[in-house]
Amino acid sequence: MSFHENSDSDGKFPLNLTIIDGFTLPKGCEEMKEQYDNLEFSEEDVWICSFPRSGSTWTQEMVWMIVNDFDFKGAETPIHERCLFLEKTTLQIYNSSRINPIENIQNRKDLKNPLVFKTHLPFTLLPKQISSGEKKPKIIYVARDVKDTCVSYYHYGKFVWDYRTDFNEYCDAFLRGKAPYSPYWNHVLSYWQLRHNPNVLFLRYEEMKSDLGGVIRRVSQFLQKNLTDEQIKILTHHLDFESMKKNPAVNYEAFYESLRKLRPEGRFIRKGIVGDHKTIMSLDMQKKFDDWIESSIQDTDYSV
C-alpha cells in the first residue's frame, strides 16, 4: 500500500482511521464501539492497557503466566489467542487469529478464568461499565518513554503498513496526534490519574528493563498471587529480551513471516532497549519532543 493512498486527512498514514471522542483510532473501532461499550466481563478479569509499542506484549506475557500459574504448555499458543485484544477485528495483524474476542467473551465457558484482555483504547473509551466506575476489573497500564515509543511505532509502521515516509516527517505527524490511538498524552494521563485506585497498576517499560524481577513481584502482589523466589527467577528468564525474541508465541510469527516476503527486514520484538531514539532522532527533533512533553505535562504530576 502506498503511503499516500490513505483516508487520513493529511495523507500521513496508510490506514483507515477515524476520530472518536478526540482520539485517532482504527476505523473499525467505529463499528465496534457499541459492542465494546456494552461488553459483559467479569470483575476478576485483568485488562492490560497501553499506547501501542510501549511494552504491551511483554506485559501480556508476564500477566498471562502469573494468572495461569506458569502454564508453559498453554503459553505455546500465540499470545493474541491467549489474551483477548479488544480491537482485534480492526487490524489485519489479527486476521489469522481464530479467536474473536467479543464472541469469546460472550461464550466464556470455553475460556479459562480470569481472562486477560489487551487494549490500546484510552480509559475513557473502555467498556462503559469500566469507564463509568460501575465495575472495577484489574487494570495494568504500561507506559514508555514517548521518544522510544515513537521510534518503535515508526519501525512497526514501515514494516506492517509500508510507511513511505522518512523518520522526521513521521515524528512531526506523531507530534500532531496522527498516529493511531493519539493524542498520546490524553491516553497516558487518562490512566495516570487513576493510578492510586486499588484496581489500577501503572507500570513503566524502563522499570521492566532495569528491574524485571521487582516488577514481576509487584504485578503478582497486585494480582494476589504469591510467587516464590524461584518462580520469579524462572519468569524473569522467560521474559527477558533474548527469550522473548526467540519465542514464536509472542512474535506474531505467522503474520510477520508473510510480510517478510514483501519486506525482508522486520520483527515484532525488535531491539528492546531504553534510549533507542538517540540512534535515529536528530537533536532538533529531540528538542521538539522535549518541549512538547514539557508543555503537555506541566499541569500534571506525571514524571518522565
Assess 269 for contact with ligand A3P (CB under 6 A). Answer: yes
Using rule CB under 6 A, residue 97 touches ligand A3P: no
Give the one residue of 24, 54, 190, 251 binding ligand A3P; rule: CB under 6 A: 54
Question: Toward ligand A3P, which CB reaches closer, 50 or 89?
Answer: 50
For every residue of the chain, which 3-state class applies, written as one string? CCCCCCCCCCCCCCCCEEEECCEEEECHHHHHHHHHHCCCCCCCCEEEEECCCCCHHHHHHHHHHHHCCCCCCHHHCCHHHHCEECCHHHCHHHCCCCCCHHHHHHCHHHCCCCCEEEECCCHHHCCHHHHCCCCCCEEEEEECCHHHHHHHHHHHHHHHCCCCCCHHHHHHHHHCCCCCCCCHHHHHHHHHCCCCCCCEEEEEHHHHHHCHHHHHHHHHHHCCCCCCHHHHHHHHHHHCHHHHHHCHHHCCHHHHHHHHCCCCCCCCCCCCCCCHHHHCCCHHHHHHHHHHHHHHHCCCCCCC
Total number of residues that touch ligand A3P (CB under 6 A) = 20
**Exactly one of 120, 187, 238, 277 is catalytic; which is it?**
120
User: How near is the Cβ of 6 to ligand A3P at its closest, in Å?
Assistant: 21
Residue nearest to ligand A3P (CB): 272
Q: Does 58 bind ligand A3P (CB under 6 A)?
A: yes
Site for ligand A3P in 217-256 (CB under 6 A): 239-241, 244
Is 213 a binder of ligand A3P (CB under 6 A)? no
The reply to whether 182 sits near ligand A3P by the rule CB under 6 A is no
Active site residues: 120
- Interface residues toward ligand A3P, by CB under 6 A: 50, 52-58, 148, 152, 155, 239-241, 244, 269-272, 276
